[in-house]
Amino acid sequence: MAWLPLAFATVVVLLPTLLHRWEHARISPHLPRKPWAHGVWAIVLALISSFVGALFVLSIARGHVANVVPLGLIILLLFPWPITRGLLIPLGAVRAAWNLTQLAGWTWRGDVGGGQFVAGAWALLRRRSIDPRTIAWLAARRDELPALEGAGVLGSALLASCLHDREQARRLMRSVASFDEDHCPPIATFLANEWRIADAAARGEWAEVEMLGRAPHRRSRAARLLGAIAARLIDYPPVPGGLHLLALWLLAPSRIANLTLLRRALASPVGLESSKPTTRATAKPIDPDALLATHARTLVQPRVGTAQVLALASAWDRALTDPSLRNQTIRRSLALRGGDPEQVLLELGRQIERDLAAMARSARIPLATLERAEAPEALRRVARELRHELLDELALACEVLDRRVRERKALPALDELREFLAVQDQYERVHRLGGGELLRIAFSQAHDPLCNLAVWLWDERGETAIANAMFRWLLNEATVVGDEEAVALQRRNIACG
Amino acid sequence: MTAEMRARVLDNPFYVLELAPECSRAEVERAGQKLLAMLELDMAGARHYPTPFGVGRRDAAKVREATAELRDPQRRLLHELWVSGCAAIDLAEDTSDENEAESLGFERAPTSLGWRR
């Protein structure tokens, strides 16, 4: 009769598991589809499984070694997400991770399909080489999801990262924070935040790392360490001391990998700002050759800093009116017996201005800095151009989107979200560079097209999760610009669910 | 920076023809003819030229364009200004290094947080 407890336990484990799955598929006659019901059912299942697991442990202790197999199954049932996260994802086992996450209803708050997609995409990201067939398989699983919610967007971002589309991945990850709790499990928000911290640290955007890594929401130990290191590197108060950093480093995983960064942070002095020179030496006379060399070197650099552009523009402002450059050009013109030096200097000035405009764009210098009274004339002209450009680009993007929505040309849900995020990105660029003054104009341009898109998705397409995320973002922006009418409208829209 | 700007710096006709800014018109013609012949014969060294910013790639179209640019005194004067300036390239070295050091990222961050192997 040794088989009797085994049969009993198998039935006790299998039955609740099947019921649990049916409940996810919305065909369970036992429980309504409510979040609390998911929680209660998961607790009941966990208690039954724990009890049965304890019986198996006792049985194994008495010498029934065969019971190791059902005990293993019980452990899989009890800890599906920790096993997926700690074992299958690091191994890059895409299908195994996808399958086991089916049991992680508790972790993914019922959005099991989205969780499976995230687990699969993450496992794929951990592989050494990425197989296009696996990407296609995962994309097909995503298309089978009933509606795109927070976890689906997180998985899509991971898939974009697998395809090395970092910009798209970044936008999608940022949008995960806009989903409300009903449409996005906390673990999706947590993972999106962790990914953004890692991505910002890899790019050297330490201000962003500090903001995300020290925010008062759930963070991993590694994220806490990166947040503190970022604060130390950019000297952002409260600046963590050496001992604090050391303690965080000891607590975080991957200590060897983090050691170089820790050393760099410890080497960076605290209170650097006061010792930094505010301006470069400007009293020195301008050497046109040296300036041309600096300019040419800046053009071939991959990244340009704000201070560098300002210093260069200021130097050019003086050099183009300096007699030595003019004299040098006249001398060469006489030697060549041809060429109008005035025209050459005019052409040089035009080239310089075009270059400075491109550098200002690339360095993302705010318009307020370019338009300051003491800013060089060349940069003030650049600022005027940039102001028109920023608003024109946003208006164009909004117009294209609005026309498509009016013509009811539907795209897949993820592409609709991408279109929204592209306009949002443009809008945020206007905000970043143009400040509050341009933001009001930008909001008045972007509000109606984006709101129409969200309403269409909610009313006619049933994509309530992404529509709700769009309403929430619009409400936030309406509050920032102080548009009372839009605030009231978006509050009503969000109340729809 | 845009590809057009990089090209303007790297494809300066004086670099393409490997000439000094004070060269005569005859030297420009000779250098152009010589390089076209070398490219036609596919000789070693004809396909590349040195610049203070790295090695540039040369082809027949680029050589013809460079020769035409230097025949026009107006255009030549402008190119001369850039080339003579780039002789003082050491001065530019300091600011670029400083900028790179400021924006240094931590490439192993995705691995450290478990996103990549």
CA distance A369 to A366: 6
Chain A residues with beta carbon closer than 8 angstroms to that of B80: 332
Supply the mean pLDDT for chain A.
86
Tens of pLDDT along A312-331? 888 888 888 778 888 888 88
Could A304 and B76 be called an inter-chain contact, meaning their C-beta atoms sit closer than 8 Å?
A: no
User: Is A303 at the interface with chain B, CB within 8 A?
Assistant: yes
Average pLDDT over residues A359-372: 84
Q: Would you say residue A130 has pLDDT above 90?
A: no
The answer to whether the Cβ–Cβ distance between A195 and B81 falls below 8 Å is no
**Residue B95, pLDDT score:** 45
Mean pLDDT of all residues belonging to chain B: 81
CA distance B108 to B117: 10
pLDDT at A194: 95
Chain A interface test: which of B80, B81, B84, B103 (most A C-beta within 10 Å): B81
Closest CB to B106 among A125, A202, A348: A202
Residue range B48-77, pLDDT digits in tens: 998 888 888 899 999 999 999 999 988 898
Residues in B closer than 8 angstroms to A344, CB to CB, are 74, 77-78, 81
With contacts defined as CB-CB under 8 Å, which chain B residues touch A205? 105
pLDDT in tens, A152-183: 999 999 999 999 999 999 999 999 999 988 88
Residues of chain A neighbouring B99 (CB-CB closer than 8 A): 301, 303-305, 308
In this predicted structure, what is the pLDDT of residue A34? 59
Asked if the Cβ–Cβ distance from A300 to B112 is below 8 Å, we say no
Q: Other CB atoms closer than 10 Å to residue A131's CB: what's the count?
A: 12
User: Min CA distance, A189 vs chain B (Å)?
Assistant: 15
Q: Do B81 and A329 touch (CB under 8 A)?
A: yes
Instruction: Indicate whether A284 pLDDT > 80.
Output: no
Confidence of residue B1 (pLDDT cuts 50, 70, 90): low
**The pLDDT of residue A35:** 60
The CB-side HSE value for B62 (13 A sphere, CA atoms) comes to 21
Using CB atoms, pick whichever of A202, A294, A351 lies closest to residue B107.
Answer: A202
ipTM: 0.74
Does the distance separating the beta carbons of A293 and B85 come in below 8 Å? yes
Distance from CA of A324 to the nearest CA of B (A): 12
pLDDT of residue A24 exceeding 80:
no
Closest chain B residue to A311 measured between Cα atoms? B95
In chain B, residues with a C-beta closer than 8 Å to the C-beta of A292 are 81-82, 84-86, 88
Give whole-number Cα distances, A119 to A91, A142, A143, A146, A189, in Å. 12, 12, 16, 18, 14
Q: Could you give the count of Cα atoms lying within 13 Å of B24 in the half-sphere of its Cβ? A: 3
Report the gap between the CA of A328 and the closest CA in chain B (Å).
Answer: 9
Q: Is A353 on the interface with B (CB under 8 A)?
A: no
Give whole-number Cα distances, A249 to A132, A199, A211, B110, in Å: 37, 19, 19, 16
Contact criterion met (CB below 8 Å) for A98 and A116: yes
Write down how long chain B is.
117
Average pLDDT over residues A476-484: 94
For range B33-53, the mean pLDDT: 89
Tell me, what amino acid is at A112?
A: V
Q: Which residues of chain A lie closer than 8 angstroms to B71, CB-CB?
A: none
CB contact under 8 A, A287 and B88: yes
| Weakest mean pLDDT among A242-246, A373-377, A440-444 | A373-377
Most confident of A210-219, A299-308, A418-427: A418-427
**CA pair distance A54, A268, nearest whole angstrom:** 53
Contact assessment for residue A416 and residue A463, using Cβ atoms and an 8 Å cutoff:
yes
Closest CA to A351 of A295, A412, A305, A405: A295
Q: Do B84 and A254 touch (CB under 8 A)?
A: no
Task: Check residue B98 and give its pLDDT.
Answer: 44
Closest CB to A197: pick one of B80, B113, B116.
B113
Reply yes or no on whether the pLDDT at A139 is more than 60. Answer: yes
pLDDT confidence tier of residue A134, bands split at 50, 70 and 90:
very high
**Residues of chain A with pLDDT > 90: what percent?**
51
Q: pLDDT band for position B103 (50/70/90)? A: low
**A234 in B contact zone (CB under 8 Å):** no
Yes or no, beta carbons of B86 and A293 under 8 Å apart = yes
| Across A456-482, average pLDDT | 94
| Cα(A349)–Cα(A437) distance, integer angstroms | 30
The values of phi and psi at residue B59, to 5°, are: -140, 175
Q: List Cβ neighbours of A368 (8 Å cut-off, separation of 6 or more).
A: A435
Query: Who's near A110: CB < 8 A, 6+ residues apart?
Result: A24, A33, A35, A38, A185
Give the model confidence (pLDDT) of A76-105 as tens digits. 888 999 999 999 999 999 999 999 998 888
